[in-house]
Amino acid sequence: MAPVITCIEDLRRQFRRVTPTMFYDYCESGSYTEQTFRENVTDFDKLRFRQRVAVDMTNRTLKTTMLGNEVALPLALSPVGSTGMMRADGEIKAAKAALKYGVPFSLSTMSICSMEAVAEATQAPFWYQLYVMRDHEYTNNAVDRAKACGVSALIVTLDLQILGQRHKDLVNGLTAPPRPTLSAIADLSTRWRWGLEMLGTKNRSFGNIVGHAKDVGNLASLTSWANEQFDPRLDWDKVAQLRDRWGGKLILKGILDPEEARKAVELGADAIIVSNHGGRQLDGALSTIRVLPSIVREVKGEVEIWLDSGIRTGQDILKALALGADATMIGRAYIYGLGAMGERGVTTALDVLGKELDTTMALCGRRDIRDVNRDILLVPEDFEGRWADEPTVG
Ligand SMILES: Cc1cc2nc3c(=O)[nH]c(=O)nc-3n(C[C@H](O)[C@H](O)[C@H](O)COP(=O)(O)O)c2cc1C
């Protein structure tokens, strides 16, 4: 019997049941002690809503715009590497679900299905996320390929010049596709549906890289290439060069500080994603919902401010909007759905979040998502944290 899905947590449980441990763990972990990974979720719980009653609740709308285009919800799918390992052809399935629902989809540099394959399968524009690699020829080509694919906005991720370690990936010997070790075979043998679907697709390696980067023709060299190739020299000048080469809508991802939000505005970004990579990079960084107010104070109205990291409910989305975000993004929440039930699972995740958002907005006395503001929220006085100043010397 099909499981009853009431919330995103139900999808996570189902995802865990049907997915090889290596890929479940890859998704469901943060770097090092996982403090930031945990707090991304638990810090939303510190905020409360103000209930309003006897307000007409008819004719509600969740529609808004992102980069000038109408979206069904103030929500987009964040770029997630190896999505096509969570479920065969995962990027294509997620892109199709997003398209039908009316929210933007972002494709990762480290996706399994190539941007060309996603463009062909969906016949619709999507966003492409760029990791800047040491191999600048590869990076420049990726920008040109994105243009040729009709990609409608480029996301440059700024918070992954070097990799934060996720312990479980080392223990599991994570590779895409999995190497046939004894433990991997034992794991995969209990996930037969996943395996059967994988056998039915040719998309089983990093499609944006194999055949496009020098010296990467086979898988053995690919894993080391990916780990060694993120460019530690990435700086604002390089971002400006990419902006000029791309020439289209630009989204900067990984902004966690008002000073850098200001730089993004000066650089001409169309949107920033307030993100700590879902707690996968700087362990000990603040959760995004706690830094959001300081970024809103700095750049609200000058650039679109979107937030990801930790969103698991429609209530979380509403809290982010109330604190000043123009929209939100989700990573794991849709990956759980994809892994659990394929394209239908992504649609279910969007449905769950949309309904939670709609009901919560109504109970806060609002009918139009664009009218949501700080008035609906109760924020603890110390929510942003009162941090000691830098000690002065002498
Ligand atoms: C399994 C996984 C892989 C990810 N891969 C990428 C990636 O390739 N590029 C990127 O910019 N962000 C990547 N991210 C970060 C997401 O884009 C997003 O910032 C994060 O998932 C948001 O947190 P949430 O999962 O709590 O919603 C990844 C996140 C996860 C969970």
Selected catalytic residue, list 136, 167, 212, 277: 277
d(CA 303, CA 337) in angstroms, rounded, equals 31
Q: Read off the pLDDT of residues 38-57 as tens digits, 9 standing for 90 and up.
A: 999 999 999 999 999 999 99
Q: Read off the pLDDT of residues 110-120 as tens digits, 9 standing for 90 and up.
A: 999 999 999 99
- Check if the beta carbon of residue 207 is closer than 8 Å to that of residue 117: yes
pLDDT at 183: 83
Q: Indicate which residue's Cα is closest to atom 1 of ligand 1.
A: 27
How many angstroms separate the alpha carbon of residue 247 from the centre of ligand 1?
25
164 CB near ligand 1 (under 6 Å) = no
How many angstroms separate the alpha carbon of residue 392 from the centre of ligand 1?
38
Summarize the confidence of residues 74-97 as an average pLDDT: 97
Q: Could you please report the per-residue DSSP string of 62-112?
A: --EEETTEEESSSEEEPP-TTHHHHSTTHHHHHHHHHHHHT--BEE-TT-S
pLDDT at 189 > cutoff 90: no
Among 19, 39, 75, 80, say which to mutate for ligand 1: greatest number of ligand atoms within 8 Å of CB.
80
26 CB near ligand 1 (under 6 Å) = yes
Cα–Cα separations (whole angstroms), residue 113 to 136, 210, 387, 391: 22, 11, 44, 50
Residue 184: pLDDT band by 50, 70, 90 thresholds?
confident
Q: Read off the pLDDT of residues 192-246 as tens digits, 9 standing for 90 and up.
A: 899 999 999 999 989 998 889 887 766 555 667 777 788 999 999 999 999 999 9
Q: Indicate which residue's Cα is closest to atom 28 of ligand 1.
A: 80
The mean pLDDT of the chain is 94
**Closest approach atom of ligand 1 to CA 157:** 11
Higher-pLDDT residue of 162, 302: 302
pLDDT at 216: 75
- Check if the beta carbon of residue 295 is closer than 8 Å to that of residue 252: no
**Closest approach atom of ligand 1 to CA 41:** 26
Q: Read off the pLDDT of residues 272-282 as tens digits, 9 standing for 90 and up.
A: 999 999 999 99
pLDDT at 123: 93
- Check if the beta carbon of residue 173 is closer than 8 Å to that of residue 35: no
What letter represents residue 384's amino acid? Answer: E
Cβ neighbours of residue 31 closer than 8 Å, sequence gap 6 or more: 37, 164, 165, 166, 279, 280, 281, 282, 283
Q: Read off the pLDDT of residues 121-153 as tens digits, 9 standing for 90 and up.
A: 999 999 999 999 999 999 999 999 999 999 999
- Check if the beta carbon of residue 270 is closer than 8 Å to that of residue 283: no
How many angstroms separate the alpha carbon of residue 80 from the centre of ligand 1?
5
278 CB near ligand 1 (under 6 Å) = yes
277 CB near ligand 1 (under 6 Å) = yes
**Collapsing DSSP states into helix, strand and coil, what is residue 219?**
helix
Active-site residue, 277 included: yes
- Check if the beta carbon of residue 85 is closer than 8 Å to that of residue 169: no
